[in-house]
């Protein structure tokens, strides 16, 4: 055995041929180690046999070796750090095989396999810290990474490096968000988007960036820009020269693209640097300012490089002040229908119309977040606030509303805009390219929120003049011809263009000094003639309402619809209107002479695309390719601007809907990711903290809205109610011409196409409005609500026609409940309160119950399910049944809020309930044929199975129920059959079932909400003291002391309290305070039904409440059956009051996957005793009333 050149007196004896008996040799990594192992005679043994002694000696030897290899003991038998340094070679890492042996001897193999299995199971998922994966990795490093063995291991070092990178990349370096109030909201000029040392990065008045390094020399023989435009870009004259977009992109997309382009690009066309400039604060700049004034400042971008709706909000504090409504200081509002940028006035009016919708949306959001006031830091009553407080509150609400409004804006870009660009609708897909997503991998995460600065190359790329539609071209020509009557567009120059713009601004009342709130909108109406070109009517203007300052909804909707129905132009060579010649030539000249941008091939190389070697590669049209060859000589000489827009365009297909030029198609996706991902306010600062909880949810996409998550339909629907049908293709896919989007739906499946409509007829408005008349506030019903409900039920079930007489359903319900004993209802309420009450603190006797969610909702839905025979078993089935019925009711009765999703939810809910009702109707039907006998038998069997199943589940689960008998269900359907048979023309089973479903949905929604809002009014906040509240509590206390809930006087007294409470706190704002003053009359539009009265009175005539719950007055008898018992039981609780904070407020819980919500309001009471016992029921629920709760007396 070879010895080493190194000598250590303890380890090696180079003159010894073999080790002594108490020593052993260990060979590893090319070295021989001498280790003391002790004497075998000293080992504790159980036998004196030599075999046992040898085995024991081997055991100790292995243990000593393992201790040497895998511990850091200071035992003299091990190596010190000095020893290790002398016997190891850092240039020769430990082999992987040695590491495996080491882990085997350490007993780590099972743990390692488990660690690997856990890690593999978490690939692509968030780390589950309950699996202790982090600890497993640390444990492996602790055993495999010990210093006391043969040398460093590359695998261990690599894993440790990745582990450190993982921990480092968990946090932003440097942080992208801080708590500075100045950084909470967007600034007018876009500064402070990047807070990590570059506050002016991407702000307005900064220099354009350069993306590509230009190194290719401009050939001296390249033609002038005018020749390039005429040969490559110019559209042939007449309508025959216009090429419609091959994929059916609408002109509204071009209008929206104009907003985006003007949002991030505004080249300084003068000679003086404006604002801060690139180095405005430097002394050098101040000294050279006079010199610069004689040159060009086209290197400066006057707007920010962020998608921040600058055309609406302005690019500076001064411009922003022109649109902020300081007359209502403290509310964060904009002037009605106003926007800051004059530049878009020269664009076709659809762009300005979209800005008006964003303006309305801002005010809608600002009013809502002030109304909710989630943090309680704002004041709705502004009268007692100082100017400083008003200004601060105004800025906070304004900044928050802008956040949410910009959330809509970026949602439209990522969903509607990119959805149309990529043509994902054709694939029936709601997939979206979302740059905001957190992207993590083993190497860390992709950066975000670092800011953005737009470049000159993309300034040229976004000059989309080719897709301008035929009538948009006519509109622009008509505006510019005011200054150039000859219409010789070759003669157009900067002065004439500015003159035409000045004339237009004067006509729109937008001349210098005029405030945006007084601007008009240009008229834009298109008549589609079929075969020939569409005809434009642009004579006149849209005026504002002198009182509100708003434009008419109908005018705005007309502009949007006409822009949606008109197809845009195609991209590609020879598609730019001639009227744009001067603008295009100016851009080409600036890019060549001042910006000195790269060539087309250099730009393609920058994007990783193949460079063009021939002109036919650039454009397969031989005439275009030959023309470009004559102009520039070689493909490498093709200038960027004309090369981008003259290049061959893509054909429509999945993944290509915009069909732009090939290079543009690749570049716009990269730019979209940079613009959105680099913006702090769309990534790290897009939180519920900066937007409020409601605002954050309001600007989220809904993938069940029929538009595959599109946000533009939501913007239109919220701000132009009743102007579109909810399933109109023009609403759901406004960036596609409707016949194309409808054809996509037909191509997906004929059944899917039935959910959409092409040019649907207008729908009537539903709801109510308040009108001042004769010194009183009258409430009007807008339409014949029952007629609309019947039509919507017909559509919901796909019936060719539908007769209806819902009154017989309500009469049958009244007949059944008039014969019922009311005591089970009271038992249910008490037992439900007991079951759902929670004692939160061991030191308090107070108990808390959600009276709306856990008592009121199950009471009403359980009662109705019992009568109509609907299954409502399961842990939360009563709440889910309420949601299903609410979906149906809202679909039938609501107008502005009706959506594609709501119709779908109502259809699903109805399909799950209607068959149960049909079974009950058929079970009571008379037998007139063999088929009828079979149907009745099957229905009776089905009803029996459902009854047994429901009662069994209720009994086993211990849930309180109103009854376990279904005699009332049978009585109801027998009464219903008798009333239906008595009609001259009885209803069919389908029609009768539809009326039953409509009735139970109306009863459930109105009674639950009526009861909850009555309690909300009768339980005033403990922080609000008023004479009315004191008087109200005194009358209730007096009634509780005098009357039982089952006595006639008591029932009447509690019902009057409930009716007054529901009247004054009605869930529909326009019906609050309703006192019915008119009898039933012939239905007509805008029918008056009553006046408003805010006084709480208990002596009103019962007829004044007849239409409180529903406009037909059918729900009141059922309300009167249930609610007095609820009022009595709630107010008989000792020291009953609202829970503190937001839990004590009446609000709604939105159930995931549903459109409806459940009311919630927590009450608190003393659980040790009650104010009044009810002897009749005390034995059944004595443990709730007068009990000793957990030792509390």
Note the pLDDT tens digit of each residue in 120-157: 776 666 666 666 666 777 776 666 655 544 455 666 67
Q: How far apart are CA 836 and CA 1184, in angstroms?
A: 11
Q: For 794-823, what is the mean pLDDT?
A: 86
pLDDT of 286 > 60? The answer is no
Q: 1161 falls in which pLDDT band (50, 70, 90)?
A: very high
pLDDT digits (tens, 9 = 90+) for 945-957: 666 666 665 555 5
State pLDDT tens for residues 733-766. Answer: 999 999 999 999 999 998 889 889 888 877 777 7
Active site residues: 462
* Pairwise CA distance, residues 1135 & 810, whole Å: 38
pLDDT over threshold 60, residue 264? yes
Contact 38, 60 (CB under 8 A): yes
Report the alpha-carbon angle 985-986-992, nearest 5: 140
Higher-confidence residue of 1089 and 457: namely 457
**Dist CA 412 CA 733 (whole Å):** 11
CA 1032 to CA 1020: how far, in whole Å? 9
Q: Are 255 and 351 in contact (CB under 8 A)?
A: yes
Among 84-98, 99-113, 521-535, where is mean pLDDT lowest?
A: 84-98
Given a contact cutoff of 8 angstroms between Cβ atoms, the answer to whether 1096 and 1032 are in contact is yes
Contacts 24+ apart (CB under 8 A), 49-58: none
pLDDT of residue 319: 94
CA distances from 184 to 266, 303, 876, 1165 (A): 26, 20, 40, 41
pLDDT of residue 949: 62
At residue 843, does pLDDT exceed 70? yes
Mapping DSSP to helix (H, G, I), strand (E, B) and coil, where does residue 770 land?
Answer: strand
CB 139 within 8 Å of CB 161: no
CA 301/CA 304 separation, integer angstroms: 7
DSSP, residue by residue, 749-768: -HHHHTTSBSSPPP----SE
pLDDT of residue 6: 45
How far apart, in whole angstroms, are the C-alpha atoms of residue 890 and residue 896? Answer: 11
Listed ranges 607-611, 1106-1110, 1144-1148; the one with the highest mean pLDDT: 607-611
Q: In which element (H, E) is residue 932 found?
A: helix 930-957
Per-residue pLDDT, 1078: 67
Sign of CA dihedral 553, 554, 559, 561: positive
Q: What pLDDT, on the 0 to 100 scale, is given for residue 457?
A: 94
Q: How many residues appear in the chain?
A: 1193
User: For residue 961, what pLDDT is reported?
Assistant: 55
Cα 704 from Cα 727, distance rounded (Å) = 12
Statement: residue 1140 has pLDDT above 90: no
Backbone angles phi, psi at 244, to 5 degrees: -65, 150
Q: Write down the pLDDT at residue 1081.
A: 52
- How far apart CA 1014 and CA 1128 sit, in angstroms, is 13
Determine the pLDDT at residue 439.
73
Question: What is the value of pTM for the model shown?
Answer: 0.81
Rounded Cα distance between 142 and 137, Å, is 8
Spatial contact of 591 and 222, defined as CB atoms under 8 Å apart = no
∠ CA 1022-1023-1027, rounded to 5°: 80
Nearest to 1018 by CA among 855, 1184, 1010, 1045: 1010
Residues contacting residue 1095 through CB under 8 Å, at least 6 positions apart: none
Q: What is the DSSP string of 1104-1165?
A: GGTTSSSTT--SHHHHHHHHHHHHHHHHTBTT-EEPSGGGGS-EEEEPTT-S-EEEE-EEEE
Domains in the chain (CATH in brackets) are: 463-653 (no CATH), 712-760 (no CATH), 779-1181 (1.10.630.10)
Q: What is the mean pLDDT of the chain?
A: 81
Assess whether pLDDT exceeds 90 at residue 632: yes
4-13, 107-116, 632-641, 909-918: the lowest-pLDDT one: 4-13
**What residues have CB less than 8 Å from 834, skipping those under 6 apart?**
1181, 1183, 1184
Q: Is 107 left (phi over 0), alpha (psi -120 to 50) or beta?
A: left
Q: Indicate the range of 18-32, 218-232, 411-425, 864-878 predicted with least confidence.
A: 18-32
What tens digit of pLDDT does each residue of 160-185 get?
A: 676 676 666 666 666 777 677 777 88
Percent of the chain with pLDDT over 90: 42
**pLDDT value of position 97:** 59
Q: Give mean pLDDT, residues 541-563.
A: 95
Dihedral of CA 1040/1043/1045/1048: which sign?
negative
- The CA distance from 295 to 575, in Å, is 34
H or E stretch including 134?
helix 133-144
On the question of pLDDT at 624 being above 90, the answer is: yes
3-state secondary structure at position 452 = coil
Question: What is the average pLDDT across 407-435?
Answer: 90
Angstrom distance (rounded) from CA 53 to CA 49 = 6
| pLDDT confidence band for 897 (50 / 70 / 90) | low
- What are the tens digits of pLDDT across the range 410-423? 999 999 999 999 99
Question: Residue 783: what pLDDT?
Answer: 76
Q: Which tens digits make up the pLDDT trace of 1027-1053?
A: 666 677 777 777 777 777 778 888 888
pLDDT at 958: 55
Q: Is the pLDDT of residue 217 over 80?
A: yes
pLDDT beyond 60 at 1190: no
Q: What confidence score (pLDDT) does residue 23 get?
A: 53
Contact 507, 314 (CB under 8 A): no
d(CA 1079, CA 1087): 11
Whether 864 shows a pLDDT value over 50: the answer reads: yes
258 close to 350: Cβ distance less than 8 angstroms: no
Question: HSE on the CB side for 833, CA within 13 Å?
Answer: 28
> Is the confidence at residue 693, as pLDDT, over 50?
yes
Contacts of 743 (CB under 8 A, 6+ apart): none
Residues 6+ apart with CB under 8 A from 308: 186, 190, 263, 406, 679, 681
Half-sphere exposure of 472 (CA within 13 A, CB side): 33
Chain-centre distance of CA 915, in angstroms? 34
In this prediction, residues 258-265 reach a mean pLDDT of 96
Instruction: Give the per-residue pLDDT at 548.
Output: 94
Contact partners, residue 885, CB within 8 Å, separation at least 6: 861, 909, 913, 1000, 1001, 1004, 1005
pLDDT band at 1094 (very low <50, low <70, confident <90, very high): confident
Q: DSSP 3-state assignment of 242?
A: coil
Task: Reply yes or no on whether the pLDDT at 285 is more than 60.
Answer: no
799 vs 56, higher pLDDT: 799
Q: Spell out the long-range contacts of 437-440 with Cβ–Cβ below 8 A and sequence spacing 24 or more.
A: 440/169
Specify the range with the lowest mean pLDDT, choosing from 23-27, 229-233, 710-714, 832-836.
23-27
In the chain the first and final C-alpha atoms are separated, in Å, by 89
Task: Write the CA distances from 1033 to 48, 1036, 1060, 1073, 1119, integer angstroms.
Answer: 97, 5, 14, 20, 22
- Give the confidence band of 564 by pLDDT, cuts at 50, 70, 90: very high
The alpha carbon of residue 394 and the mean position of all alpha carbons in its chain are separated, in whole angstroms, by 25
Percentage of the chain surpassing pLDDT 70?
Answer: 76
Ligand-binding site membership of 465 (annotated): yes
């Amino acid at each position: 055995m070879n010895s080493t050149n190194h000598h250590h007196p303890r380890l090696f004896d180079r003159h010894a041929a073999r080790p002594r008996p108490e020593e052993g040799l260990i060979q590893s990594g090319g070295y021989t180690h001498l280790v003391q192992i002790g004497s075998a005679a000293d080992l504790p043994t159980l036998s004196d046999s030599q075999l046992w002694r040898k085995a024991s000696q081997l055991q100790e030897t292995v243990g000593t070796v393992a201790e040497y290899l895998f511990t850091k003991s200071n035992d003299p038998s091990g190596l010190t750090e000095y020893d290790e340094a002398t016997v190891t070679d850092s240039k020769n890492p430990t082999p992987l095989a040695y590491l495996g042996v080491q882990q085997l001897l350490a007993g780590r193999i099972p743990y390692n396999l488990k660690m690997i299995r856990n890690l593999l199971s978490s690939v692509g998922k968030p780390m589950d810290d309950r699996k202790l994966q982090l600890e497993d990795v640390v444990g492996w490093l602790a055993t495999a990474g010990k210093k006391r063995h043969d040398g460093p291991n590359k695998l261990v070092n690599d894993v440790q490096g990745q582990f450190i990178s993982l921990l480092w990349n968990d946090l932003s370096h440097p942080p992208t968000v801080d708590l500075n109030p100045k950084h909470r909201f967007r600034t007018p000029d876009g500064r402070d988007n990047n807070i990590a040392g570059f506050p002016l990065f991407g702000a307005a008045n900064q220099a354009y960036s350069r993306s590509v390094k230009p190194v290719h020399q401009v050939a001296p023989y390249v033609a002038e820009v005018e020749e390039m435009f005429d040969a490559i870009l110019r559209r042939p004259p007449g309508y025959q020269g216009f090429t419609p977009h091959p994929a059916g992109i609408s002109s509204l997309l071009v209008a929206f693209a104009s907003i985006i382009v003007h949002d991030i690009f505004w080249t300084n066309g003068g000679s003086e640097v404006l604002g801060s400039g690139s180095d405005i604060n430097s002394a050098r700049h101040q000294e050279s300012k006079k010199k610069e004034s004689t040159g060009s400042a086209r290197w400066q971008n006057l707007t920010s490089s962020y998608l921040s709706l600058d055309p609406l909000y302005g690019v500076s504090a001064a411009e922003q002040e022109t649109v902020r409504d300081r007359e209502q200081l403290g509310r964060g509002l904009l002037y009605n229908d106003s926007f800051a940028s004059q530049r878009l006035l020269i664009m076709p009016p659809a762009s300005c119309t979209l800005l008006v919708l964003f303006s309305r949306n801002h005010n809608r959001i600002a009013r809502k977040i002030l109304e909710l006031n989630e943090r309680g830091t704002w004041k709705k009553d502004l009268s007692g606030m100082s100017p400083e407080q008003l200004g601060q509150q105004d800025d906070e609400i304004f900044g928050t509303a802008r956040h949410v409004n910009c959330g809509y804006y970026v949602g439209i870009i990522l969903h509607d805009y990119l959805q149309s660009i990529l043509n994902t609708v054709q694939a029936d897909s709601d997939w979206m390219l979302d740059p905001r997503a957190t992207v993590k991998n083993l190497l860390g995460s992709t950066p975000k929120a670092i800011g953005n600065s737009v470049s000159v190359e993309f300034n040229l790329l976004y000059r989309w003049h080719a897709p301008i539609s035929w009538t948009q071209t006519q509109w622009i020509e008509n505006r510019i011809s005011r200054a150039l009557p000859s219409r010789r567009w070759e003669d157009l120059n900067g002065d004439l263009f500015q003159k035409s713009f000045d004339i237009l601004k004067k006509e729109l009342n937008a001349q210098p000094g005029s405030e945006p709130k007084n601007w008009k909108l240009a008229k834009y109406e298109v008549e589609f003639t079929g075969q020939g070109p569409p005809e434009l009517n642009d004579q006149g203007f849209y005026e504002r309402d002198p009182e509100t300052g708003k434009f008419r909804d109908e005018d705005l909707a007309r502009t949007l619809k006409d822009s949606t129905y008109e197809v845009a132009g195609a991209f590609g060579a020879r598609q730019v209107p001639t009227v744009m010649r001067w603008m295009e030539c100016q851009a080409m000249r600036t890019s060549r002479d001042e910006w000195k941008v790269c060539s087309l091939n250099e730009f393609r190389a920058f994007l990783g695309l193949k460079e063009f070697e021939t002109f036919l590669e650039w454009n397969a049209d031989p005439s275009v390719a030959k023309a470009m060859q004559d102009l520039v000589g070689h493909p490498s000489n093709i200038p960027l601007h004309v090369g981008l827009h003259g290049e061959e365009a893509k054909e429509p297909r999945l993944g290509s809907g915009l069909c732009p030029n090939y290079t543009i198609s690749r570049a716009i996706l990269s730019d979209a990711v940079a613009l959105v991902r680099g913006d702090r306010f769309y990534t790290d600062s897009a939180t519920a903290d900066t937007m409020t909880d409601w605002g954050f949810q309001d600007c989220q996409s809904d993938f069940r809205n029929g538009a595959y998550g599109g946000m533009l339909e939501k913007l239109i629907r919220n701000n132009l109610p009743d102007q579109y049908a909810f399933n109109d293709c023009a609403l759901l896919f406004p960036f596609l011409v409707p016949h194309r989007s409808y054809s996509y739906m037909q191509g997906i499946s004929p059944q899917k196409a039935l959910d959409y409509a092409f040019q649907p007829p207008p729908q009537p408005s539903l709801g109510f409005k308040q009108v001042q008349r004769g010194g009183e506030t009258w409430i009007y019903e807008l339409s014949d609500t029952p007629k609309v409900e019947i039509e919507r039920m017909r559509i919901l079930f796909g019936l060719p026609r539908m007769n209806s007489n819902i009154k017989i359903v309500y009469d049958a319900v009244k007949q059944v409940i008039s014969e019922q004993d009311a005591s089970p209802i009271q038992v249910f309420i008490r037992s439900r309160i007991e079951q759902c009450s929670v004692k939160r603190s061991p030191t308090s006797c107070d108990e808390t119950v959600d009276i709306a969610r856990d008592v009121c909702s199950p009471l009403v839905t359980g009662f109705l399910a019992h009568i109509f025979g609907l299954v409502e078993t399961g842990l939360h089935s009563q709440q889910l049944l309420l949601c299903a019925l609410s979906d149906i009711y809202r679909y039938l009765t609501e107008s502005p809020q009706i959506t594609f999703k709501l119709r779908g939810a109502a259809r699903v809910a109805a399909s799950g309930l209607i068959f149960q009702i049909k079974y009950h109707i058929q079970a009571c039907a008379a037998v007139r044929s063999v088929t009828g006998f079979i149907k009745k038998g099957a229905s009776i069997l089905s009803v029996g199975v459902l009854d047994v199943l429901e009662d069994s589940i209720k009994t086993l689960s211990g849930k309180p129920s109103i009854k376990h008998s279904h005699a009332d269900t049978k009585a109801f359907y027998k009464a219903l059959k008798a009333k239906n048979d008595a009609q001259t023309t009885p209803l069919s089973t389908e029609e009768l079932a539809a009326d039953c479903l409509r009735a139970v949905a109306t009863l459930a929604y109105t009674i639950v909400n009526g009861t909850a809002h009555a309690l909300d009014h009768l339980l005033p906040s403990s922080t609000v003291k008023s004479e009315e509240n004191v008087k109200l509590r005194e009358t209730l206390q007096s009634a509780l002391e005098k009357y039982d809930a089952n006595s006639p006087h008591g029932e009447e007294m509690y019902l009057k309290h409930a009716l007054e409470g529901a009247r004054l706190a009605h869930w529909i704002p326009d019906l609050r305070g309703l006192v019915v003053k008119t009898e039933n009359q012939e239905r007509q539009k805008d029918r008056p039904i009553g006046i408003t009265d805010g006084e709480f009175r208990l002596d009103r005539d019962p007829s004044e409440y007849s239409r409180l719950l529903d406009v037909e007055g059918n729900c009141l008898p059922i309300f009167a059956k249930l609610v007095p018992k609820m009022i009595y039981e709630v107010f008989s609780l000792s020291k009953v009051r609202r829970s503190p904070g937001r839990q004590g407020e009446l609000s709604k819980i939105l159930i995931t996957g549903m459109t409806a919500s459940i009311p919630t309001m927590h009450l608190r009471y003393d659980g040790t005793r009650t104010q009044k016992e009810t002897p009749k029921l005390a034995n059944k629920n004595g443990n709730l009333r007068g009990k000793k709760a957990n030792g509390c007396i």
